[in-house]
Every structure is written in C-alpha cells, then in structure tokens.
Amino acid sequence: KAGVTQTPRYLIKTRGQQVTLSCSPISGHRSVSWYQQTPGQGLQFLFEYFSETQRNKGNFPGRFSGRQFSNSRSEMNVSTLELGDSALYLCASLRQGGTEAFFGQGTRLTVV
C-alpha cells in the first residue's frame, strides 16, 4: 500500500514569491491535514481538508491557503513568501474518522 507522497521534496524560493506544494494521501483516505515544522515552534497545524472542504484551520495568516481535489489530492499555497516561512511542510493522510494521521516525508522550503 503506497504511503503519503509529497512533492517536491526540496524548494528554494525568494522573498515575495509564491509556492505550491502537493500531497497525495494514502489510497482510500479522504482527509488530509497540513503542518508546518520549525525548530523554534515545532509542529503547527495549518488546515485540514475532507471531501474537498476545509474542515479545520490553524492560526496562520491568509497567505497560507489550501485546497483538495475530488481524488483527495491536496495542495497548499503560500503567497508573498517571508524568510520566516522557511520550514518543513508536512502533509498527513487521515484514516476514516480523521484521528490517526500518517505523514509524508515533507517538503523542505527555504526562503532566501
């Protein structure tokens, strides 16, 4: 059974640019959550999507957005990048019921 696939694995962007990250969940899972991981703040919840609808949202500015497609694949977008957005962005695929979370390898974003 394939795991959670995140692309790309690494990204380097310049301040002010925007970026789109992709996540393909485990087959059969309909819920996807996104997290930001930094050394100073740890793992912080960004948002969760279920059946193409945002169900939960964390305390991040509006520059962070996401969406989910009918095949459960999800994307997150960060606009007007700031240096502080440098982090490991993790996607979690959630088992039916939405509690057990299985993570991908993450996308490491560096903003310069």
Partner 1 sequence: QKEVEQDPGPLSVPEGAIVSLNCTYSNSAFQYFMWYRQYSRKGPELLMYTYSSGNKEDGRFTAQVDKSSKYISLFIRDSQPSDSATYLCAMGGNTNAGKSTFGDGTTLTVKP
Least distance CB 16 / partner 1 (angstroms): 27
Q: Which residues bind partner 1 (CB under 8 A)?
A: 4, 6, 31, 33, 35, 42-43, 45, 48, 50, 55-56, 58, 90, 92, 94, 97-106, 108
Of the candidates 47, 41, 39, 42, the residue with the CA atom closest to the CA atom of residue 23: 47
Least distance CB 32 / partner 1 (angstroms): 8
Of the candidates 3, 19, 16, the residue with the CA atom closest to the CA atom of residue 109: 19
The residue among 76 and 90 lying less far from partner 1, judged by its C-beta, is: 90
Burial of 60 (0-12, 13-18, 19+ CB in 10 A): middle
